[in-house]
Copies of this chain bind each other. A is one copy, B any other.
């Protein structure tokens, strides 16, 4: 079978990671070109994996040798690029969030739907073996009827203030992964959000209008309540835990450790750190994400993280912001003319067909 030929838009931190994975480790795909508004960044990525630099996003999207477009540019360009790629009939992989403006999201999703091209959103954590095992414990009935979900997600260090200022705020930038995880684990949409937060890490973050330490409580259609703890700074590493509790049991995805050696002395037991950040923790999930995208495009099956799955967490994030500002629980339908938000689609765990 011929390999899926992918063109990459965006050669920053996340884009260059995608380039390396596609080139070195995804057997079914090859990287055929890259574009970035910073030509130097594009060149650096192109050199490292032996691919071509395009002069513009349009050119890359239009190129005959590009089967699929990977969008890893800044958020404010996603909608335009998705729309263009859809217009060109290309399969699309797009980093989260699609956009911070729901009407723009809807516009992009309409374009994709009209073109009938495959679209996958970059919620890579669904592909983490540990988190997927939690979802599996729901799917196969191990935990019974779901009642409560706990998610803890803490970054090692806050991003630069310049990034914070354009990020859309913690709920759109960081918690959005957890909002997606809550939908993935339960397979149930969120109808109400209560959130609270503060600046405990750095007052400059507050001065920029953002929060750095937050709690969000989500109520799902099926009655499940999800509790999320977030912080922008964690001295012990990148804390990533997911837990579901149901009528028959509980499933808990714990943090990994850098290694599994324990020293025991008169002072007790001493073990390794949790991985420092997402490149240390989630490479296997990024890899599986690419394999699932390639398989879906090749099979003509629907990608497991759809446009609707990209949209729903944005609604939750907006409700979270309103909850913090108005100090009340906010129904998600305040953001919808009619409540016809699709059920979470990619809620099977994905396994390579091998």
Question: Could you say which of A223, A254, A264 has the most chain B C-beta atoms within 10 Å of its C-beta?
Answer: A264
What is the predominant secondary structure among interface residues of chain A facing chain B?
A: mixed
User: Which one of B196, B225, B258 lies within 8 Å of A225 (CB-CB)?
Assistant: B196
B residues in contact with A200, CB < 8 Å: 145, 147, 223, 247
B residues in contact with A24, CB < 8 Å: 24-25
Residues of A63-113 contacting chain B, CB below 8 A: none
0/1 string, A250-281, CB within 8 A of B gives 1: 11111111111111111111111110000000
- Spell out A's residues near B (CB within 8 Å): 24-25, 128-131, 133-134, 137, 142-145, 147-148, 150, 152, 154, 194, 196, 198, 200-201, 213, 215, 217, 219, 223, 225, 227, 229, 231, 233-237, 239, 245, 247-274, 327-329
Contact A225 B215 (CB under 8 A): yes
Contact B215 A235 (CB under 8 A): no
B residues in contact with A272, CB < 8 Å: 129, 133, 268-269
User: Which one of B142, B219, B258 lies within 8 Å of A263 (CB-CB)?
Assistant: B142
B residues in contact with A131, CB < 8 Å: 261
B residues in contact with A234, CB < 8 Å: 245, 250
Q: List 11 A-B contacts (CB under 8 A).
A: A129-B261, A130-B259, A142-B263, A143-B263, A148-B215, A150-B150, A196-B329, A235-B248, A236-B249, A268-B271, A327-B328
A223 to B148, alpha carbons, bound, how many Å? 25
User: Which one of B236, B247, B260 lies within 8 Å of A250 (CB-CB)?
Assistant: B236
- Indicate whether A262 sits within 8 Å of B252 (C-beta atoms), given known contacts A24-B24, A148-B213, A223-B200: yes
How many copies the complex holds: the figure is: 4
A196-B225, A236-B266 given; 19 more Cβ-contact pairs under 8 Å: A129-B258, A131-B261, A133-B261, A137-B263, A194-B196, A198-B223, A217-B227, A227-B227, A235-B248, A235-B249, A235-B265, A236-B269, A239-B250, A250-B263, A252-B264, A266-B273, A269-B271, A327-B328, A328-B328
User: Which one of B237, B245, B273 lies within 8 Å of A229 (CB-CB)?
Assistant: B245
A195 to B305, alpha carbons, bound, how many Å? 32
B residues in contact with A237, CB < 8 Å: 264
B residues in contact with A145, CB < 8 Å: 200
User: Which one of B147, B261, B266, B274 lies within 8 Å of A248 (CB-CB)?
Assistant: B266
A31 to B270, alpha carbons, bound, how many Å? 40
Distance in angstroms from A270 CB to nearest chain B CB is: 5
